[in-house]
């Protein structure tokens, strides 16, 4: 099984974790290809396990919070396909903007040009 987070991404997440007061852009999008769960991760704490980002388990209530990398690995191992990283994901806004749009939609949504004219998503 491939690691969920490559070394370069891990280093960027750790760097963001050293500045917790900033509204970082998400660095990583993880998702369950067989279900609704999605995570936009923007930071990792120095422990190398605690991730911070927008978590959407598919219940209509996405929220900003912490998730354990070890727990995500356990979830991934228990799935037929495993959690996947979206290599095409490119963050365009800080995590707070993704969170606001997700709360309005009840799920994590892609942010496109419409956000530029309507900052509330």
Residue 119 is assigned to a structural domain of this protein: no
Cβ–Cβ under 8 Å, residues 61 and 92: no
Asked whether residue 2 is domain-assigned, the answer is no
CA distance 2 to 94: 28
Alpha-carbon span 24 to 114, nearest angstrom: 21
Q: Is residue 1 part of a domain?
A: no
What is the average pLDDT across 13-29?
Answer: 96
The total number of structural domains in the chain stands at 1
Select the highest-mean-pLDDT range: 31-35, 64-68, 87-91, 109-113: 64-68
In a domain, 15, yes or no: yes
CA–CA gap between residue 103 and residue 18 (Å, rounded):
27
SS3 of the chain: the string is CCCCCCHHHHHHHHHHHCCCCCCCCCCEEEECCCCCCEEEEEEECCCCCEEEEEEECCCCCCEEEEEEHHHHHHHHHCCCCCCEECCCCCCCCCHHHHHHHHHHHCCCCCCCCHHHHCCCC
Residue 106 has pLDDT above 70, yes or no: yes
In this structure, is residue 101 part of a structural domain? yes
In which domain, by residue range, is 35 found? 7-110
Query: For the whole model, what pTM was predicted?
Result: 0.86
- Mean pLDDT over 98-114 rounds to 85
22 located within any domain: yes
């Amino acid at each position: 099984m491939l690691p969920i987070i490559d070394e370069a991404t891990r280093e960027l997440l750790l760097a963001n974790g050293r500045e917790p007061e900033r509204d970082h852009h998400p660095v990583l999008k993880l998702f369950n290809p067989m279900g609704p769960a999605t995570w936009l991760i923007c930071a990792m704490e120095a422990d190398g396990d605690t991730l911070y980002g927008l978590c959407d388990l598919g219940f209509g209530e996405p929220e900003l919070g912490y998730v354990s990398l070890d727990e995500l690995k356990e979830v991934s191992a228990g799935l037929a396909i495993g959690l996947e990283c979206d290599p095409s994901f490119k963050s365009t806004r800080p995590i707070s903007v993704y969170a606001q749009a997700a709360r309005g939609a009840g799920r994590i949504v892609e942010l496109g040009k419409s956000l530029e004219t309507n900052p509330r998503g």
